[in-house]
Chains A and B, each alone.
Chain A
Amino acid sequence: MSWLLVSPILIPLAAAAVSFALPERRMAQRTVAVGASALLLATSLLLLVEVATRGMVVMQAGDWPAPFGITLIADHLAAIMVVISAIMALATAVYALVDIDPAREGLGYHPLFLVLVTGINGAFLTGDLFNLYVWFEVLLISSFVLLTLGNRRAQLEGGLKYVAVNLVSSLFFLVSIGVTYGLTGTLNMADLAIALKDVPTGLVTILAMLFLVAFGIKAAIFPLFFWLPASYHTPPVAISAIFAGMLTKVGVYALIRAFTLLFTQDVPWTHDVLLWLAGATMLTGVLGAAAQNEFRKILSFHIISQIGYMIMGLALYTPLALAGAVFYLVHHIIVKANLFFVAGLAQRMGGSFELKKLGGLYRHSPLLSILFIIPAFSLAGFPPLSGFWAKLVVVLAGVEVGNWAIVAVALVVGLLTIYSMTKIWQAAFWSPTPEGVTLSGLPQKRLWVPVAMLAGLTVVIGLFSAPFMNLAEASAAELLNPAGYVEAVLGADAAAEYDVPIVLEETP
């Protein structure tokens, strides 16, 4: 089974190697990218089935036993994330066939994209803190290049902010890893979960805050989000869609991992900080979006507000809340990337991302209007789409613990999300085409395929939410009981050493 576990890392990496070795062969590179993504989806689905039926899959790379070697582990959460990343990779690879121009392909778009996917999957599957840092760097460095590929002025400007802020985040991450190692002498996450119990709680909390800054920058939570809306609207749509879908979510994943497995010593304090941040993230994101008038900038700010919901689920730290956070992650990745794809289609027809210069798309292409309405309504939380269930569960979790303030924030932010989506609808679809703008013909079919596929997925998750919710609940159960994770990595003796932390009934 260990090969099934590494295949989500190996497949894109091997494909990237092949793609690098064929610099002049564009067709071959395209075939490799799409083929590898499809294969990735197949194997990651197998991995999820394996995890769901037989429990966590663990592998010690190079046969070096944990905690000395590098552990790879797939629990429910990791397996779900890998499947979603494979879906996104496939959708992006197909969309990129048309969207990425030959010049960018010549500069190495395809291999870089595959390296990005490798890094994302590696970050999900690793069970070692330093290895997590390495995968973060792999995905960051390829994202730096992808973001600035083509050297347009706006891209370089956005890229500069992106690179600078993310390097600061990496620095924080590295420093925190150093401090962790100094305190405990181990970086294996399962081993750390045990070792951190012997460290004074105050020190652990300081460490937790250091990690919060490092992962918080990557996840774009308040007040560390400003790099995101400055850069995500600059590269080609295929690139910004996978960035919008996956990259911040790797940060959220790392936060969930850290604040369920490692930093649960002082939950009332740490998770309270998270809750405040979640509320502030939701509000600032949605207010920022309300002030924007560019299609992709509005969507970028909405990434931030939606991240807030996931952090809210993590901060409430109940089974229902965590299940909601996981469900939200899945829902959000699909919907957000889809909206970016739709923005790309709208731009191809209307010639601009500026809402002022767009108009008349409803009459021009009813199909695109439907494909926009589905993810947009899903994002805003209309039943029966996936976003409704995601919001419902997170809000219910808030009601359950009686935290009315965060519930109110979540509901108001949902309302404001509808405002932003109707603003786009009003300006780009319903209003008449501005003078001097002629709408061009319908884009190629291959661009529509991923959009329709992801929209269909949103509807399916909405209509048949039970199996997805079951998976989310299974992840939440595992996250709240790290002893299972510790046992899977280090064996039963170590798990006995790790006594189960108490789940708080109420967050103050």
Chain B
Amino acid sequence: MNSLILRTTTRLLIGVLLLFSVFLLLRGHDLPGGGFIGGLVGAAAIALYAIAYGYEHAFALLRIRPRALIGVGLSLAVLAGILAAFAGEPMLTGLWWIREVGPWTVKLSTPLLFDVGVYLVVIGVVLRMLFSLEEH
């Protein structure tokens, strides 16, 4: 679609949307949000870009094929489950690394890793559907 208005708005919006999707992802452990909804917002951002600038450009922006994204995300999720083995716990047991960095408390965990996996899988699946619809 060749619309100046859409293109300009998209350029303004895409950064905000992507940032918001990461915000939702990180917020998800205790509050509404998480990998799934974050992934949907992220995919929506790229879909908007694809509508405004064409699919080739969106593809170039992504740099990785959506199907590979599914694979990477799924691998991360599986890894998050397996990591518990190294702590001698059953599969999917949550492991936490909480560190004080300056004034902030950084909380990293396997649930977060799992959520990042979900995030990538959702983006991959949605974009794969959109791109294959575009191909036909």
Q: Which residues of A contact B (CB under 8 A)?
A: 2-3, 6, 10, 13-14, 16-23, 59-63, 108, 111
Contact partners of A10 in chain B: CB under 8 A: 78, 81-82, 91
Which residues of B (13-33) have their CB < 8 Å from a CB of A?
none
The interface stretch among B2-10, B34-42, B68-76, B96-104 is B68-76
Q: Which residues of B contact A (CB under 8 A)?
A: 65, 67-68, 70-72, 74-75, 77-78, 81-82, 85, 89-94
Give A61 to B84 CA distance when docked, in angstroms.
Answer: 10
Contact partners of A61 in chain B: CB under 8 A: 90-92
Task: Give the top 9 A-B pairs by smallest Cβ distance, nearest first.
Answer: A21-B71, A20-B71, A17-B74, A17-B75, A62-B92, A63-B93, A23-B67, A20-B70, A61-B92
Interface pair A20/B91, CB less than 8 Å apart: no
Interface pair A108/B92, CB less than 8 Å apart: no
Residue ID in chain A nearest B77 by CB atoms: A17
Contact partners of B71 in chain A: CB under 8 A: 17-23, 111
Give A136 to B67 CA distance when docked, in angstroms.
Answer: 23
Contact of B74 among A6, A16, A22, A62 (CB under 8 A): A16
Contact partners of A111 in chain B: CB under 8 A: 71
Interface pair A20/B90, CB less than 8 Å apart: no
Give A284 to B70 CA distance when docked, in angstroms.
Answer: 43
Contact of B68 among A14, A21, A59 (CB under 8 A): A21
Interface pair B68/A23, CB less than 8 Å apart: yes
Interface pair A62/B91, CB less than 8 Å apart: yes
Give A148 to B121 CA distance when docked, in angstroms.
Answer: 22
Q: A10-B81, A20-B71, A22-B71 are in contact. List 11 more A-B contacts (CB 8 A).
A: A10-B78, A14-B78, A17-B71, A19-B71, A20-B67, A20-B74, A21-B68, A59-B90, A61-B92, A62-B90, A62-B93
Interface pair A13/B74, CB less than 8 Å apart: yes
Give A62 to B83 CA distance when docked, in angstroms.
Answer: 11
Residue ID in chain B nearest A14 by CB atoms: B78
Contact partners of B78 in chain A: CB under 8 A: 10, 13-14, 17
Contact of A18 among B75, B91, B92, B94 (CB under 8 A): B75
Interface pair A22/B89, CB less than 8 Å apart: no
Contact partners of B67 in chain A: CB under 8 A: 20, 23, 108
Contact of B75 among A6, A21, A59, A62 (CB under 8 A): A21
Interface pair B70/A62, CB less than 8 Å apart: no
Give A10 to B70 CA distance when docked, in angstroms.
Answer: 16
Contact partners of B65 in chain A: CB under 8 A: 23
Interface pair A63/B90, CB less than 8 Å apart: yes
Return A43 CB to nearest CB of chain B, in Å.
14
Contact partners of A19 in chain B: CB under 8 A: 71
Return A361 CB to nearest CB of chain B, in Å.
40
